[in-house]
Structure 1
């Protein structure tokens, strides 16, 4: 054990070069050391190994049985060192690692997913974990160390001085309906035309719910009375398919559902006046540094702002 513990990578490299070239002088040149230094190192290694590692012949040096063992293990050890160095460089460069990100629904679709696609195209070895949840859950998870960063609104119970906040996109509400809904394809729709329909909408207090209700109240209209409260896309899709219900979603989500794989099965109403949701922020914990891989993802998110 003492013999192995005293060996250095430079010692192992010298052994490999001697075995490859059969010449001590050439091996010393390849290892960027003088021949006397190489002779001294080889003598020290042989003394600690307990016997000669190379036989001297007129045509060069050949490994002894003990030398062959040392050369074989030196090859393995140096390969592991090279792998360690390469992997360390990739981690430091943000090319490898685990990234944990949270976002509310709109930015998850319109901002985070395009960034993730970019990252996967250039650095496929980054392992992503993405959670979509309300802002309160996300910011609490950020404080607890469950996320590297989140895209959310800062709940009032949190002190903004504890975070790094970067403005993200403003959100616009879009109203989804089935394609044969009575209001579909009618051009711009006024809020007054929406009052008699059933709605499937997020729970009371959610940003989209607040924005929709505020839009009605600003025009001195009654807020929707026939409401099913749900944040589940499955519930939304089921109700839209089976009724004339209206489902408010962020514009990014509405485009995905109306123009993406479900294109033709849903439609978005054109509102005469837009309904705006309070803006989101890209939020980092001020007291924690994010790892290089997460920084790589964050940079791509900023690029899509």
Structure 2
């Protein structure tokens, strides 16, 4: 096996995230798979790239050398791809959709709809646990659109001057084993889960603080909160080692049930953003429409959620998606 650009992206992701657990979520990989990949890269380069302990992962001298070169090569390669696309046909420039997304339900469906509606377009994606990072990439011209989720009424990343449109508003559900006693109910009281461990995927914003506040209102302080990737959330919930906080559109998984929380103490808004002054703005309404269609499709996969929605009409897809103002 030879060293490839994808290996350099892995090394950079670990360095930027500061730990393998956060990098695995950023890259969409299970942590064991990422660890195995890092070991293969280190074997190729002949030494350890990171010192790892309970505080995270820190580059070794060899790691610093690799990172220094990677941070030159990766942007250069990305610019090469972009320049090649622009020069393919000067008279008919390639239409492109560069979409960034934080963990959410719409990305796959959006890509499918864009490629189906625009067969000649170049569609690319980038994922991150940080909505602010992706918004900054849109502002810098490195992405065209960004899909983010924000907690409750919190604003989307506002310092980058993007136009934001709400696609849907979701309650936050809990992921329980199908044979859990609470799954026989229509909703779960948050206080009934006061003695459990919790699991959640990483992200920026206020969700962690809002969750603790919701637990406090329910009369308890939450125990251990595991911050893990999606695969690990599923594993922990399946084993009964933790209750995972999830979106109601979570894809059905054998042995698990996504349950609504009584009183809806936590909400999540899905938004699409773009630069109003950039060339992608003209296609923004189309992207918004496709994102809404993708959301509706994944929402219909969860019968418990579709049965819950008629009694809670303020949730689900937003019928008129007005722009969310950004801070001046």
Q: 1:293 to 1:204 in 2, by over 3 A?
A: closer
Specify the SS of the correspondent of 1:129.
Answer: strand
1:246 maps to 243
Q: 1:291 to 1:202 in 2, by over 3 A?
A: closer
Q: CA RMSD in A?
A: 3.2
**1:114 has 2:109 as partner:** yes
Q: CA deviation at 1:228?
A: 1.5
Write the distance in 2 (CA, Å) between the matches of 1:287 and 1:166.
15
Q: CA deviation at 1:203?
A: 4.7
1:22 maps to none
Write the distance in 2 (CA, Å) between the matches of 1:137 and 1:298.
20
**1:228 has 2:229 as partner:** no
Q: CA deviation at 1:129?
A: 1.7
Write the distance in 2 (CA, Å) between the matches of 1:242 and 1:186.
21
Specify the SS of the correspondent of 1:150.
Answer: strand
User: What per-residue deviation string (whole Å, max 9, x for no partner) do you get for residues 121-141 of structure 1?
Assistant: 333332322223221221122
Match of 1:105 among 84, 89, 103: 103
Write the distance in 2 (CA, Å) between the matches of 1:287 and 1:293.
12
1:166-185 correspondence runs (5 A): 166-185=165-184
Gaps of 5+ in 1: 1-82
Q: If the length of structure 2 is used for normalisation, what is the TM-score? A: 0.53
Q: 1:155 to 1:99 in 2, by over 3 A?
A: same
Specify the SS of the correspondent of 2:182.
Answer: coil
Q: CA deviation at 1:250?
A: 1.5
Write the distance in 2 (CA, Å) between the matches of 1:266 and 1:302.
26
Gaps of 5+ in 2: 1-87, 295-316, 318-328
Write the distance in 2 (CA, Å) between the matches of 1:204 and 1:159.
18
Q: CA deviation at 1:204?
A: 8.2
Is the Cα contact below 8 Å between 1:199 and 1:226 reproduced in 2?
Answer: yes
Between Structure 1 and Structure 2, the one with more helix by share is 1
Write the distance in 1 (CA, Å) between the matches of 2:116 and 2:102.
24
Write the distance in 1 (CA, Å) between the matches of 2:141 and 2:223.
41
User: What per-residue deviation string (whole Å, max 9, x for no partner) do you get for residues 108-129 of structure 1?
Assistant: x1x4433332223333332322
Write the distance in 1 (CA, Å) between the matches of 2:145 and 2:264.
30
Q: If the length of structure 1 is used for normalisation, what is the TM-score? A: 0.56
Q: CA deviation at 1:268?
A: 1.5
Q: 1:84 to 1:128 in 2, by over 3 A?
A: closer
Write the distance in 2 (CA, Å) between the matches of 1:141 and 1:222.
40
Q: CA deviation at 1:233?
A: 1.0
Is the Cα contact below 8 Å between 1:202 and 1:209 reproduced in 2?
Answer: no
2:132 maps to 136
1:154-169 correspondence runs (5 A): 158-159=158-159, 162-169=161-168
